[in-house]
Structure 1
Amino acid sequence: MEQYGAITEEIYQELLAAVGPGGVIMNDSEALDNYAWDQAGRIWGHMPEAVVKPADTAQVSAVMKIASREHIPVTPRGAGSGLNGGAVPLAGGIVLSLERMNRILEIDKINRVAVVEPGVVTNDLCRAAAEEGFLYAGYPMSTETSFIGGNFATNAGGGKVIRYGNTRRHVLGAEAVLPSGEIINLGGRFRKDTWGYSLINLLAGSEGTLAVVTKLIVNLEPKPGKTVNLLACYPTLEELVESVAKVIGSGKRIISCEFMDKNLVKYTTEYLGCTLPEQDRSEGYLLIQVEGDTEAQLEDGYETVGKICLDCGAFEVFVAESRTDSAAMWNVRQNGLEGMRARDPHACASGDLMVPLSSVPEMIRRIKEISAEWNIEIGIISHIGDGNIHPIPLKPADMTPEHWARYAEEFFTALIREAIALGGVGSGEHGVGHVKQKVLMDSKSPAEIELLQGIKRAFDPYNIMNPGKMFSPLD
């Protein structure tokens, strides 16, 4: 274990002076517990010594200077909606909560960007952009709860990735505070450069292990054209998966292509008090969003896509005729995890898998096989159009929660190894955190690990930034 400094009364007073009254929580176990775990579950939690809530970049810099001088570990934290323990303070020390840095600073119509602080809720940014006639296209399924800073930290994806890409693609500039307290500015209000190594792309997905991002400049897209949602119901998963590549390759403007299997639909509709069409006999559903500039183009798009689905074996393809219909379809998809956890509070969603689209049928087959071998009931939800699959296993009734926490992660490790064997990786958007650290390290060559750990040392020579995550071990 690293020899980290403790937070003495003198240091506590320094932190309080740096961020002002109400900005530091210490010696309050109930309040600290709220920052000790994330959505991976309490089993992975660890108490911090203090929670510090800066209100601006200067305060973040002041806190980091204290932490660097005293070798106190710092765990940056957004909304705590992560699923891999990324915001859990494994080494204690300071949780640096960015919840007070929640301002949308500017909507720049000329340069088509928004300037935001990391604590802005993603959906608030989406709404603010829409009010000015733009689209912020970074759209994870946690859009109503997650912070934009957390999206950047994990390079979050979501339902619109096949059209617009993941968070890294949307971030043009960033202000960040290094572990030393120095402030750097990266990128800007432009969309291309060949001006040295791209540090901003390095920070995207780094899960708070390199620096604290305090401001983001994000790209805004023109508002999309007319859209319509289709729900296709399938008797077998083989027929469903066969449709996906044909839909994506149809030449039509596909915004989203999402998959839900029968278990997830069953438990989520029970949770929501609704039903989907053909629910008694469907093994799975595709939820597809099509875009067109005109009614004629839109109609041509959804008719073409609907025919593909029917030709591949779909029972029915339902076209949403109103916003209410569309909302009902998406409500099941967006509440999939909540639906599974209503069935079993211990349902585990820390593992998402990424494989090439061509490997999706085989990966889903292997998930089903391994689930049966491990005696686990599972629901599957997926951004299937880009090969990002989210298995959600349920705890066996006779297993203790403590045993289940370890068993589920061993199960996910087995799935990740299958994904890697098929040319994929162990996470498309949830991140690594500490839950997936070992399998990440096992998947990399010694040469690559040395390069990656060298980057970590260059940014953070004292290993105070979110230690125990990604490529920064605790010992």
Structure 2
Amino acid sequence: MQTYNPITQEIVDKLKAITGPSYVKTDKDILVQYQTDYENDPQKFHMPEAAVLPANAEEISQIVKLANEYHFPITVRSAGTSLADGAIPVYGGLVLCMERLNKIIELNEEGMYLTAEAGVRTLDIQKEAKAHGLMYAGDPSSAESCMIGANLATNAGGLRAVRYGVTRNQVYSLEMVTPTGEIVECGGILKKCSTGYDLEQLIIGSEGTLGIITKVTVRLIPLPPYHFDVLAIYTDPRQALYMVPQLMKAGIDPTSVEYMDNSYVRDTADYCHYSDMPHYEDGIYVIITVETFREDELDTKMETVCNICEETGAVEVLEADDRIWNMRRNIQNSCELVSKVFLTDDVVVPVHKIAPTIEKIMEIGEDYPFQVKINAHIGDGNLHIVLCKVNMTDEEWAASVDKFHHQVYEYAYSVGGRLAGEHGIGAKKLQYMEEFTPSGELQVMKTIKRAMDPNNILNPGKLFNA
């Protein structure tokens, strides 16, 4: 295990000289909020020695250079919504908080792009684009609280990824501070570019291990004037899952196709205090969104979607109103009704393998004492698995979870899948990244990390053992 030097009073004084005294925190009563992100298992918590709130890239550059000089680790923290322990300071050291980098710098209507600092909320970018008749297509479920820089760092997916792709598909360029403290701009506002390495795409998804993103320019697209949301309710999960290929073959090009198993239907309805949801006891919800620029096309596609749902066994096809989307966005919170300790995981498989993968996971789950819950972006092969601890000892829980994950990951890789679709690896999946990633691929990643961050300063203990 790598060792680092402690953060001394000398270092604290130098940090205060960079940002101003009020933006450096060393009081344990304050630092306790930075020991975890969305992780709810206290065994995974790690307390930092200090936290700093820089104002800009220049201050971050100085802080990173200081970390290299004194050899202490930096963990970058945005809104703390990571589901993979990505913002937990595994080695202590310094937590670098991005909340002061919160300005939208420019929205260019003619060029259809927006430039913002990394600490701007994703929701605020969406609102600013919409106010100008445009759309930012990135739409993670935590959009109301998560920050755009972290979306890039984790290559966040979300509800619109089926049609528009994940975060990396929305980005023109970014500014970052390298692991040795240089400020570098990568990419440009270009339709295509073959000028050397695609550096911005390398940084996107690197989870803060290759650089600290400080500014981003994202693509905007015209806002479709017409859309519909359909709720197809099934009582047989196989029918719900095997509906997707029919939908795709019909040329519908849906914006989202979301799956909620019945345990989620019941728990989210209870969490949101909705007492009259249809098929509460036995329903599996599939939410389908379609957007168009012509009203006649909308009508045609709506009729086709409803017909496909009915032909594949939906017991009811309804309009998905605001209650349905509120339930979908509160999936994570609703797990607290079942267990105070639960674990969220995600795997991604080829789209045509999503149905047998979900069936296999539920079959595996029958052999374990914890509750297994599944929701999924079934239109792009990304499924989320939640394990609820309920009444188990810590030892039983740890052993069971590890064994369950090995079975799930082995199956996912056997059908061409991977460990994570959008939540990232963080600290939570580090051991599995080492185990399941093909050795040549993993070695290339480690070579890049060592070359860019020779002192292993940025976000150590994440992704893999550098």
**TM-score if structure 1 supplies the norm length?**
0.95
Equivalences for residues 219-368 of structure 1 within 5 A: 219-274=219-274, 275-282=276-283, 284-320=284-320, 325=321, 327-349=322-344, 351-368=345-362
2:170 corresponds in structure 1 to 170
Whole-Å Cα distance in 1 between the matches of residues 402 and 80 of structure 2?
A: 20
Whole-Å Cα distance in 2 between the matches of residues 206 and 406 of structure 1?
A: 29
- Please report how far the alpha carbon of residue 409 of structure 1 lies from its aligned counterpart in structure 2 after TM superposition: 4.8
2:407 corresponds in structure 1 to 414
Whole-Å Cα distance in 2 between the matches of residues 406 and 149 of structure 1?
A: 35
Q: Equivalent of 1:429, from 398, 422, 425? A: 422
- Please report how far the alpha carbon of residue 366 of structure 1 lies from its aligned counterpart in structure 2 after TM superposition: 1.1
2:9 corresponds in structure 1 to 9
Whole-Å Cα distance in 2 between the matches of residues 228 and 445 of structure 1?
A: 42
- Please report how far the alpha carbon of residue 66 of structure 1 lies from its aligned counterpart in structure 2 after TM superposition: 0.5
Structure 1 residue matching 2:255: 3-state secondary structure: strand
2:387 corresponds in structure 1 to 393
Deviations 1:216-235 (A, max 9, x none): 01111111230010000112
Structure 2 residue matching 1:386: 3-state secondary structure: coil
Structure 1 residue matching 2:79: 3-state secondary structure: coil
Structure 2 residue matching 1:169: 3-state secondary structure: helix
Pair 1:347–1:114, CA change in 2 (3 A): same
Whole-Å Cα distance in 1 between the matches of residues 109 and 297 of structure 2?
A: 28
CA contact (8 A) 1:292 1:301 kept: no
- Please report how far the alpha carbon of residue 281 of structure 1 lies from its aligned counterpart in structure 2 after TM superposition: 3.2
Q: Equivalent of 1:383, from 377, 396, 404? A: 377
Amino acid at match of 2:329: Q
Pair 1:189–1:10, CA change in 2 (3 A): same
Structure 2 residue matching 1:359: 3-state secondary structure: helix
1:456 corresponds in structure 2 to 449
Pair 1:413–1:76, CA change in 2 (3 A): farther
Structure 2, unaligned runs of 5 or more? none
2:32 corresponds in structure 1 to 33
CA contact (8 A) 2:431 2:464 kept: no
Equivalences for residues 159-238 of structure 1 within 5 A: 159-238=159-238
Amino acid at match of 2:298: L
- Please report how far the alpha carbon of residue 111 of structure 1 lies from its aligned counterpart in structure 2 after TM superposition: 1.6
- Please report how far the alpha carbon of residue 253 of structure 1 lies from its aligned counterpart in structure 2 after TM superposition: 3.5
Pair 1:87–1:403, CA change in 2 (3 A): farther
Pair 1:385–1:84, CA change in 2 (3 A): same
Deviations 1:194-215 (A, max 9, x none): 0101111111110001111100
1:372 aligns with 2:373: no
- Please report how far the alpha carbon of residue 249 of structure 1 lies from its aligned counterpart in structure 2 after TM superposition: 2.2
- Please report how far the alpha carbon of residue 403 of structure 1 lies from its aligned counterpart in structure 2 after TM superposition: 4.8
Amino acid at match of 1:347: F
1:93 aligns with 2:93: yes
Pair 1:261–1:96, CA change in 2 (3 A): same
- Please report how far the alpha carbon of residue 411 of structure 1 lies from its aligned counterpart in structure 2 after TM superposition: 2.6
- Please report how far the alpha carbon of residue 110 of structure 1 lies from its aligned counterpart in structure 2 after TM superposition: 2.2
Task: Please identify, of 408-417 and 5-14, the stretch whose mean Cα deviation from structure 2 is larger.
Answer: 408-417
Amino acid at match of 2:64: M
- Please report how far the alpha carbon of residue 405 of structure 1 lies from its aligned counterpart in structure 2 after TM superposition: 5.3
Deviations 1:381-430 (A, max 9, x none): 11110010001121132x13575356435433432222111110010000
Equivalences for residues 78-157 of structure 1 within 5 A: 78-157=78-157
Structure 2 residue matching 1:214: 3-state secondary structure: strand
Amino acid at match of 1:193: C
Amino acid at match of 1:47: M
- Please report how far the alpha carbon of residue 358 of structure 1 lies from its aligned counterpart in structure 2 after TM superposition: 1.3
Deviations 1:289-332 (A, max 9, x none): 11222332211111101100100111011125xxxx2x112111
Aligned pair count reads 464
Whole-Å Cα distance in 1 between the matches of residues 393 and 303 of structure 2?
A: 50
Whole-Å Cα distance in 1 between the matches of residues 194 and 16 of structure 2?
A: 42
Whole-Å Cα distance in 1 between the matches of residues 176 and 33 of structure 2?
A: 25
Question: Percent identity, aligned pairs only?
Answer: 38
Structure 1 residue matching 2:389: 3-state secondary structure: coil
CA contact (8 A) 1:388 1:428 kept: yes
Whole-Å Cα distance in 2 between the matches of residues 181 and 361 of structure 1?
A: 46
Structure 2 residue matching 1:348: 3-state secondary structure: strand
Whole-Å Cα distance in 2 between the matches of residues 407 and 114 of structure 1?
A: 46
- Please report how far the alpha carbon of residue 40 of structure 1 lies from its aligned counterpart in structure 2 after TM superposition: 2.2
**TM-score if structure 2 supplies the norm length?**
0.97
CA contact (8 A) 1:177 1:214 kept: yes
Whole-Å Cα distance in 2 between the matches of residues 353 and 426 of structure 1?
A: 5
Structure 1 residue matching 2:366: 3-state secondary structure: helix
Deviations 1:111-169 (A, max 9, x none): 21111111111111100111111100000111111111111111000111111000011
Whole-Å Cα distance in 2 between the matches of residues 418 and 227 of structure 1?
A: 37
Pair 1:405–1:133, CA change in 2 (3 A): farther
Whole-Å Cα distance in 1 between the matches of residues 234 and 292 of structure 2?
A: 26
Structure 2 residue matching 1:181: 3-state secondary structure: coil
Whole-Å Cα distance in 2 between the matches of residues 448 and 382 of structure 1?
A: 27
Whole-Å Cα distance in 1 between the matches of residues 34 and 404 of structure 2?
A: 27
Amino acid at match of 2:124: D
CA contact (8 A) 1:43 1:402 kept: no
Whole-Å Cα distance in 2 between the matches of residues 405 and 230 of structure 1?
A: 39
Amino acid at match of 1:286: V
CA contact (8 A) 1:123 1:144 kept: yes
Deviations 1:342-370 (A, max 9, x none): 23221221x10101111111111111111
Structure 1 residue matching 2:138: 3-state secondary structure: coil
CA contact (8 A) 1:463 1:472 kept: no
Q: In angstroms, what is the RMSD of aligned CA positions?
A: 1.4
